[in-house]
């Protein structure tokens, strides 16, 4: 097990390195120079000296290999530098300011997702091929088919048209500061993101439940005279959850992908918003650092899931 | 049809939001709903384009320029009489006792209220997060001005930025004894802010009176390009302008600028939005951190005191309790800026729920659609963008130094088609002087008669093709036509390189033209070195309405911005004479003649194309100074609105407003 974990950690570090390298070159390949892009529409008014001075300040006047080497060394030392856009702020400050919002939204999406997926998947399996199963499966397909941005946009239009509640995109309250305003702000993104994440989990759980329910040990449990609820929850669900656990790592990546869209749609100043703004503003240090951060998070979440899976199911560990 | 009704009709007959929702519901979900939303947009585009094609011509021909000409005449008359008026005002002000002044101010305030302008309230707007510094003198970024124009002051300000009518600011009057001397009569009782984060900075000198020496320090700093530590800085954007000041003399109440040469355009530069005055102690003490923007590094004499400036987070300013124009102005108690919304959905929510008072999405269709759904509560305003769009041909080097080729290119540019393709019809063609500098520009209906601008494009193309063939254009081989990467990086404009190349290929019935992109990093140095490839992009912002400076800079033999190495005695003589001409009517005529001369020669490769227009929506309670195209195109309107904008919180549209409180003093 120890060797397995070490091998996986080495692999994870390599993946993070590749993601960082990709982000470093990707933002430089894109049209638009960072020194000019930072000036927006007014770039055409800048003199060559001003642009050159700015490039020198950013270190963009150095050869690409030197820039890459500097970035790599600084990143290893966790020295992420300062933002190109908000030059008074370090990248760590920008990340620190954004991360709580993303964590809040991410947790809410996960809660919604699993709160819906588990009962729905369970009910669908229990009432297989009955109207409730068809209805729930149709809803799951709908959630899979509807892109998260569409669901969120339509929901926003409904809220605006019927003036249902305030979506405080300016105040940007944290849940611990102003729970009421924060929840109404997060409501649409957490539901849209949660439903989108629900579908795959729900369908997987249903199929696993159906498979497990046909197993001999479930039949045995029933034959022993156990209550149906005990059979389902203690014997069937626990075993059906194992494959679900394996997709959790993928689900995390999906949720982060949704968050990039949802944070921008609702002006949530989280990590997803930071990625987009840093990309448009060619804020190289912020963009590269956030990509690395997300890569670290996704890779190590998957690693933890794999390790947990090995712990829960010894057959995996042995193989 | 008036121009106003043209712009208002731009957005009519759109699919309503409720229509979209009900259609989505009927059609089901997923792909069907998506398709419906997409179809709605397409329909909108089609209608806008069709309207623009038909109506833009009418607009350009009719009411606009009649009104503009009247404004120009008024502006000229005002300018001619301005000195006398200012002197009279100054004399009158000095004669009045304090009590009389107070009575007069109270009466004026009452009059303004009775005219409908009201005091109090705040405005919340979006601002792009492009704050490269807190020092207006060292930036080209207009969002910096959006903030600082409310906090700091200039010597003069524009009463109307389009026509160039000037009014006093730190100088309440001015005289031009001759073409090389400007005497500024400085306003008394102007103090630097005595509260707020800037006043608390250890380097600041809060509350002290503004002195002529402060102004002289600001001018010296820019014309010498030298910082307090003795280092030279290359980023003083107006150093060339201030370099025109040979010497200065000042006493307690006036400042005299002695110009190195006669320059009648100089006085307008004093109202340039970038020429804000810094406090020497504070800016001098923080110059080494000039890129680290926060409210503690800013102090001014303007109508508002900056209480927060956290780039990427929020900005706010509150009314200066000691502003010199009190109690008349400003009208608002506070201003708040929120940072750019990345997504139209967020901007839409903020605007429709009245969390912001103004909206102008980068996609004009979004703005127009939202206005359409809120027609009873909102109105549209249109802002001309000061970033002029141009196509530059290197006429200073072979093969483009053949005037026939330069003319062929200028004729082949389908300016109106570009406006349609890239800006959904929201824009107007510009001659050598942009239409936004309306007092100096060739009116649109006249412009339509010039080669390259004709409505009948076929005639232009026929002539262009003949010139191209006669000059051996087909033998030039493959031609790379550059578009700036920054331009092409915008999703709505990403097809521009291909569009420009195809425009020329079609005009010349060839496939020689290829569209490529290059960064400004390559374009600008090669442009300055006069060794550039043909390109399409923005050119530097116009900063003042007086077009003489731009024309002289581009077309006279020794000018710094004459990247085409144009040397024409007629142009030199006429523009240099215009520069010294104090009579505006005569100067307009001179510039007009040069414009015509230049256009007959394919603009010598400096083919100005157009200035596009951004629509914006405001609630009915929100009153900027210039609220319609007839009044002005809101070209750098920041300092104007800083004192003139007001809100009517009694208007029904103000119901349900969710104002964000500014950070208090």
Q: How far is B523 from chain A (nearest CA, A)?
A: 9
Q: What is the pLDDT of residue B104?
A: 53
Is there a contact between A302 and A249 (Cβ–Cβ < 8 Å)? yes
Helix (H) or strand (E) holding B156: strand B156-160
Report the number of secondary-structure helices (H) and strands (E) in chain B. 24, 20
For chain B, the helix, strand and coil percentages under 3-state DSSP, each to the nearest 5: 45, 15, 40
- Which residues in chain A are closer than 8 Å to B541, comparing Cβ atoms? 42, 44-45
Q: Is the pLDDT of residue B660 over 90?
A: no
> How confident is residue B40, by pLDDT bands cut at 50, 70 and 90?
very low
* Averaged pLDDT score across all residues of chain A: 85
Range with the largest mean pLDDT of A3-7, A138-142, B74-78, B510-514: B510-514
Phi, psi of B265 (to 5 degrees): -85, -15
Residues B292 and B406 in one domain: no
Q: Is the pLDDT of residue B528 over 70?
A: yes
Number of domains in chain A: 1
Q: Is the pLDDT of residue B79 over 50?
A: no
B522, part of any domain: yes
C-alpha–C-alpha distance, residues A160 and A155, integer Å: 9
Distance of CA B288 to the CA centre of its chain: 29
Mean pLDDT, range B85-91, rounded to an integer: 41
* Averaged pLDDT score across all residues of chain B: 82
Q: Is the pLDDT of residue B96 over 60?
A: no
Is there a contact between A253 and A298 (Cβ–Cβ < 8 Å)? yes
SS3 (DSSP) at B632: coil
Q: What is the pLDDT of residue B404?
A: 95
C-alpha–C-alpha distance, residues A188 and A300, integer Å: 29
Q: Does the beta-carbon distance from A43 to B486 stay under 8 Å?
A: yes
Q: What is the pLDDT of residue B474?
A: 95
Position with higher pLDDT, B375 vs A302: B375
Mean pLDDT, range B110-138, rounded to an integer: 80
SS3 (DSSP) at B465: helix
CA closest to A148 among chain B residues:
B30
* Domain range enclosing B489: 389-612
Q: What is the pLDDT of residue B234?
A: 80
Out of B335, B354, B372, a domain closes at B335
Indicate the residue of A33, A49, A94 with minimum beta-carbon distance to B519.
A33
Residue with tokens 């001075």: A53
Q: What is the pLDDT of residue B31?
A: 33
* Cβ within 8 Å of residue B635, ≥6 positions away: B161, B162, B383, B384, B386, B436, B542, B545
Q: How far is B516 from chain A (nearest CA, A)?
A: 11
**A contact test, residue of B20, B130, B528, B536 with most A CBs within 10 A:** B130
B242, part of any domain: yes
- Which residues in chain A are closer than 8 Å to B137, comparing Cβ atoms? none
Helices (H), B16-156: 17-27, 31-61, 63-95, 98-114, 142-148
Bridge-based pairing of strands B358-359 and B535-538 is: unpaired
Q: Is the pLDDT of residue B41 over 50?
A: no
What does each C-alpha distance from A37 to A32, A240, B213, B336, B481 come to in angstroms? Answer: 6, 51, 37, 25, 21
Rounded to 10 deg, the angle between the A284-312 and A271-280 helix axes is: 140
Phi, psi of B319 (to 5 degrees): -55, 135
Q: Is the pLDDT of residue B90 over 50?
A: no
Mean pLDDT, range B100-110, rounded to an integer: 49
Q: Which of A25-29, A252-256, B566-570 has the lowest mean pLDDT?
A: A252-256
Give the residue among B495, B612, B482, B494 at the shortest CA–CA distance from B537.
B482
C-alpha–C-alpha distance, residues B298 and B505, integer Å: 52
B493, part of any domain: yes
pLDDT tens string B245-271: 999 999 999 999 999 998 888 998 999
Interface of A with B in 184-243 (CB under 8 A): none
Query: How many angstroms separate the first and last alpha carbons of chain B?
Result: 49
Q: How far is A87 from chain B (nearest CA, A)?
A: 6
A124, part of any domain: yes
Is there a contact between B166 and B545 (Cβ–Cβ < 8 Å)? no
A313, part of any domain: no
Residues B318 and B412 in one domain: no
Q: How far is B198 from chain A (nearest CA, A)?
A: 17
SS3 (DSSP) at B493: helix
Give the residue among A102, A100, A91 at the shortest CA–CA distance from A272.
A102
* Cβ within 8 Å of residue B117, ≥6 positions away: B331, B623, B646
Which residues on adjacent β-strands are paired with residue B306?
A: B317
> How confident is residue B42, by pLDDT bands cut at 50, 70 and 90?
very low
Is there a contact between B583 and B590 (Cβ–Cβ < 8 Å)? no
B108, part of any domain: yes
Q: What is the CATH number of the domain that holds B466?
A: 3.10.105.10
Q: What is the CATH number of the domain that holds B229?
A: 3.40.190.10
Give the residue among B539, B501, B490, B491 at the shortest CA–CA distance from B389.
B539
Number of domains in chain B: 2
Residue with tokens 């194309």: B609
Residues B520 and B588 in one domain: yes
Phi-psi label, residue B289: left if phi above 0, alpha if psi -120 to 50, beta otherwise: alpha
Q: What is the pLDDT of residue B126?
A: 87
Which residues on adjacent β-strands are paired with residue B185?
A: B173, B254
A260, part of any domain: yes
Phi-psi label, residue A97: left if phi above 0, alpha if psi -120 to 50, beta otherwise: alpha
Q: What is the pLDDT of residue A232?
A: 85
A17, part of any domain: no
- Which residues in chain B are closer than 8 Å to A196, comparing Cβ atoms? none
Q: What is the pLDDT of residue B57?
A: 40
* Domain range enclosing A193: 91-280
Residues B421 and B302 in one domain: no
DSSP B205: -
Could you give the ipTM of this predicted complex?
0.84
> How confident is residue B91, by pLDDT bands cut at 50, 70 and 90?
very low
A196, part of any domain: yes
Q: How far is B408 from chain A (nearest CA, A)?
A: 26
* Cβ within 8 Å of residue B94, ≥6 positions away: none
B230, part of any domain: yes
- Which residues in chain A are closer than 8 Å to B289, comparing Cβ atoms? 88
Q: How far is B556 from chain A (nearest CA, A)?
A: 20
Indicate the residue of A55, A161, A273 with minimum beta-carbon distance to B18.
A161
- Which residues in chain A are closer than 8 Å to B338, comparing Cβ atoms? 170
Indicate the residue of B234, B312, B350 with minimum beta-carbon distance to A170.
B350
Residues B205 and B304 in one domain: yes
Q: Is the pLDDT of residue B389 over 70?
A: yes
C-alpha–C-alpha distance, residues B239 and B246, integer Å: 13
> How confident is residue A43, by pLDDT bands cut at 50, 70 and 90?
low
CB neighbours of residue B102 within 10 Å = 12
Distance of CA B269 to the CA centre of its chain: 14
DSSP A276: H
Residues B325 and B417 in one domain: no
Q: Is the pLDDT of residue A231 over 70?
A: yes
Is there a contact between B607 and B372 (Cβ–Cβ < 8 Å)? no
Residues B528 and B446 in one domain: yes
Out of B585, B612, B639, a domain closes at B612
Q: How many residues does chain A have?
A: 319
Report the number of secondary-structure helices (H) and strands (E) in chain A. 14, 0
A59, part of any domain: no
Helix (H) or strand (E) holding B306: strand B304-310
Indicate the residue of B294, B352, B520 with minimum beta-carbon distance to A36.
B520
Percent of chain B with pLDDT over 90: 54
Q: Buried (b) or exposed (e) across B108-130, using 16+ Cβ within 10 A?
A: ebeebeeeebbbebbbbbbbbbb
SS3 (DSSP) at B665: coil
Does A88 reach chain B within 8 Å, measured CB to CB?
A: yes
pLDDT tens string B45-73: 333 333 433 443 443 344 344 434 444 44
pLDDT tens string B179-205: 899 999 999 999 999 999 999 999 999
What does each C-alpha distance from B187 to B14, B93, B117, B168, B209 come to in angstroms? Answer: 51, 10, 25, 9, 11
C-alpha–C-alpha distance, residues A60 and A67, integer Å: 7
C-alpha–C-alpha distance, residues B358 and B653, integer Å: 13
Is there a contact between B584 and B79 (Cβ–Cβ < 8 Å)? yes
Does A78 reach chain B within 8 Å, measured CB to CB?
A: no
> How confident is residue A39, by pLDDT bands cut at 50, 70 and 90?
low
- Which residues in chain B are closer than 8 Å to A52, comparing Cβ atoms? 521, 525
B636, part of any domain: no
Q: What is the pLDDT of residue A52?
A: 79
Q: What is the pLDDT of residue B51?
A: 40
Which residues on adjacent β-strands are paired with residue B484?
A: B518
Position with higher pLDDT, B443 vs A250: B443
* Structure tokens, B262: 């006669």
Q: What is the pLDDT of residue B130?
A: 81
Which residues on adjacent β-strands are paired with residue B608?
A: B390
What DSSP string runs through B403-461? HHHHHHHHHH--HHHHHHHHHTT-EEE--SS-TTSTTTSPPHHHHTTSTTS-S-HHHHH
C-alpha–C-alpha distance, residues B200 and A94, integer Å: 26
Interface of A with B in 1-30 (CB under 8 A): 30
Q: Is the pLDDT of residue B524 over 80?
A: no
C-alpha–C-alpha distance, residues B575 and B437, integer Å: 17
> How confident is residue A316, by pLDDT bands cut at 50, 70 and 90?
low
Q: Buried (b) or exposed (e) across B312-330, using 16+ Cβ within 10 A?
A: bebbbbbbbebbbeeebbb
B314, part of any domain: yes
Phi-psi label, residue B565: left if phi above 0, alpha if psi -120 to 50, beta otherwise: left
- Which residues in chain A are closer than 8 Å to B30, comparing Cβ atoms? 142, 145-146, 150
> How confident is residue A306, by pLDDT bands cut at 50, 70 and 90?
confident
> How confident is residue A206, by pLDDT bands cut at 50, 70 and 90?
confident
B60, part of any domain: no
Radius of gyration of chain B (CA): 25
C-alpha–C-alpha distance, residues B432 and A301, integer Å: 60
Mean pLDDT, range A181-189, rounded to an integer: 93
Q: Does the beta-carbon distance from B485 to A33 stay under 8 Å?
A: yes
Residue with tokens 């100067």: B587
> How confident is residue A201, by pLDDT bands cut at 50, 70 and 90?
confident
Q: Is the pLDDT of residue B620 over 70?
A: yes
Q: What is the pLDDT of residue A172?
A: 87
C-alpha–C-alpha distance, residues B293 and B305, integer Å: 15
Q: Is the pLDDT of residue B585 over 50?
A: yes
Which residues on adjacent β-strands are paired with residue B59?
A: none
Q: What is the pLDDT of residue B58?
A: 42
C-alpha–C-alpha distance, residues B482 and B347, integer Å: 33
A225, part of any domain: yes
SS3 (DSSP) at B626: coil
Q: How far is B249 from chain A (nearest CA, A)?
A: 31
Q: What is the CATH number of the domain that holds A169?
A: 1.10.3720.10
A6, part of any domain: no
Q: Does the beta-carbon distance from B142 to A41 stay under 8 Å?
A: yes
Percent of chain A with pLDDT over 90: 34
């Amino acid at each position: 097990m120890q060797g397995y974990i070490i091998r996986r950690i080495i692999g994870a570090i390599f993946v993070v390195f590749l993601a960082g390298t990709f982000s470093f070159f990707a933002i430089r390949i894109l049209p638009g120079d960072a020194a000019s892009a930072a000036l927006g529409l007014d770039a055409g008014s800048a003199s060559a000296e001003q642009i050159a001075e700015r490039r020198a300040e950013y270190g963009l006047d150095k050869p690409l290999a030197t820039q890459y080497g500097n970035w790599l060394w600084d990143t290893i030392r966790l020295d992420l530098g300062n933002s190109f856009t908000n030059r008074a702020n370090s990248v760590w400050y920008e990340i620190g300011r954004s991360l709580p919002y993303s964590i809040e939204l991410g947790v809410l999406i996960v809660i919604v997702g699993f709160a819906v997926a588990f009962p729905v998947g369970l009910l669908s399996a229990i009432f297989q091929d009955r109207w409730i199963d068809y209805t729930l499966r149709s809803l799951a397909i709908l959630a899979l088919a509807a892109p998260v941005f569409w669901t969120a946009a339509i929901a926003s239009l409904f809220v605006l048209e019927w003036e249902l509640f305030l979506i405080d995109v300016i105040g940007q309250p944290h849940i611990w500061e102003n729970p009421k305003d924060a929840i109404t702000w997060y409501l649409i993104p957490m539901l849209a993101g949660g439903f989108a994440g629900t579908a795959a989990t729900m369908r997987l759980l249903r199929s696993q439940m159906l498979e497990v329910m046909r197993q001999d040990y479930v039949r045995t449990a029933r034959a022993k005279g156990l209550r149906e609820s005990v059979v389902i929850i203690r014997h069937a669900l626990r075993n059906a959850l194992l494959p679900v656990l394996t997709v959790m790592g993928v689900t995390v990546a999906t949720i982060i992908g949704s968050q990039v869209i949802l944070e921008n749609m609702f002006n949530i100043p989280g990590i997803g918003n930071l990625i987009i703004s840093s990309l448009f503003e060619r804020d190289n240090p912020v963009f590269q650092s956030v990509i690395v951060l997300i890569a670290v998070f996704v890779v190590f979440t998957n690693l933890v899931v794999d390790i947990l899976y090995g712990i829960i199911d010894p057959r995996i560990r042995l193989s | 049809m008036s121009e106003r009704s043209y712009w208002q009709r731009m957005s009519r007959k759109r699919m309503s939001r409720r229509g979209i929702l009900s259609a989505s519901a009927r059609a089901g979900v997923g792909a069907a709903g998506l398709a419906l939303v997409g179809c709605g947009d397409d329909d909108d585009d089609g209608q806008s384009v069709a309207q623009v094609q038909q109506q833009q011509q009418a607009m350009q021909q009719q009411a606009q320029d009649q009104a503009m000409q009247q404004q120009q005449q008024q502006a000229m008359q005002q300018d001619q009489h301005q000195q006398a008026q200012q002197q009279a005002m100054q004399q009158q002000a000095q004669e009045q006792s304090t009590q009389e002044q107070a009575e007069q101010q109270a009466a004026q305030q009452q009059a303004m209220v009775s005219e409908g302008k009201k005091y109090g309230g705040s405005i919340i707007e979006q601002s792009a997060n492009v704050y490269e510094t807190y020092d207006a003198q060292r930036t080209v970024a207009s969002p910096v001005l959006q903030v600082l124009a409310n906090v700091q002051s200039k010597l003069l300000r524009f009463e109307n930025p389009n026509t160039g009518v000037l009014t006093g600011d730190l100088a309440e009057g001015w005289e031009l004894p001759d073409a090389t001397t400007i005497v500024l009569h400085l306003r008394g009782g102007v103090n630097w802010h005595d509260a707020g984060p800037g006043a608390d900075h250890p380097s600041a000198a809060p509350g002290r009176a503004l002195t002529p020496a402060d102004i002289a320090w600001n001018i010296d700093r820019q014309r010498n390009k030298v910082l307090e530590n003795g280092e030279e800085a290359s980023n003083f954007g107006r150093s060339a302008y201030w370099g025109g000041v040979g010497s200065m003399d000042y006493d307690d109440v006036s400042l005299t600028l002695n110009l190195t040469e006669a320059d009648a355009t100089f006085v307008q530069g004093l109202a340039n939005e970038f020429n804000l005055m810094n406090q020497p102690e504070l800016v001098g003490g923080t110059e080494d951190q000039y890129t680290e923007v926060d409210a503690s590094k800013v102090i001014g004499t303007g109508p508002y005191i900056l209480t927060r400036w956290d780039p990427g987070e929020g900005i706010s300013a509150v009314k200066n309790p000691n502003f010199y124009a009190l109690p008349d102005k400003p009208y608002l108690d506070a201003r708040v800026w929120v940072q750019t919304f990345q997504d139209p959905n967020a901007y839409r929510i903020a605007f429709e729920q009245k969390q912001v008072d103004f909206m102008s999405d980068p996609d004009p269709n979004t703005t127009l659609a939202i206005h359409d759904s809120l027609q009873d509560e909102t109105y549209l305003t249109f802002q001309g963008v000061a970033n002029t769009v141009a196509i530059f041909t290197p006429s200073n080097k072979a093969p483009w130094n053949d005037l026939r080729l330069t003319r062929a290119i200028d004729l082949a540019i389908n300016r109106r088609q570009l406006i349609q393709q890239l800006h959904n019809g929201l824009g107007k063609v510009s001659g050598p002087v942009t239409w936004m500098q309306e007092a100096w520009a060739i009116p649109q209906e006249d412009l339509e008669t010039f080669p390259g601008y004709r409505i009948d494009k076929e005639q232009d193309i026929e002539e262009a093709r003949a010139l191209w063939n006669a000059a051996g254009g087909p033998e030039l081989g493959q031609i790379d036509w550059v578009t700036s990467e920054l331009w092409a990086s915008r999703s709505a404009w990403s097809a521009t390189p291909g569009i420009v190349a195809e425009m020329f290929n079609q005009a010349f019935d060839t496939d020689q033209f290829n569209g490529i992109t290059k960064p400004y990093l390559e374009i600008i140095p090669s442009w300055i070195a006069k060794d550039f490839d043909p390109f399409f992009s923005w050119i530097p912002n116009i900063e003042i309405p007086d077009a003489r400076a731009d024309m002289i800079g581009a077309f006279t033999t020794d000018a710094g911005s004459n990247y085409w190495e144009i040397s024409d005695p007629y142009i030199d003589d006429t523009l240099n004479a215009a520069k010294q001409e104090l009579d505006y009517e005569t100067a307009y005529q001179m510039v007009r003649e040069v414009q015509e001369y230049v256009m007959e020669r394919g603009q010598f490769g400096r083919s100005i194309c157009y200035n596009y227009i951004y629509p914006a929506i405001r609630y009915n309670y929100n009153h900027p100074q210039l609220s319609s195209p007839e009044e002005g195109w809101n070209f750098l309107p920041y300092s104007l609105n800083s004192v003139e904008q007001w809100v009517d919180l009694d208007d029904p549209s103000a119901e349900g407003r969710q104002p964000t409180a500014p950070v208090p003093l």
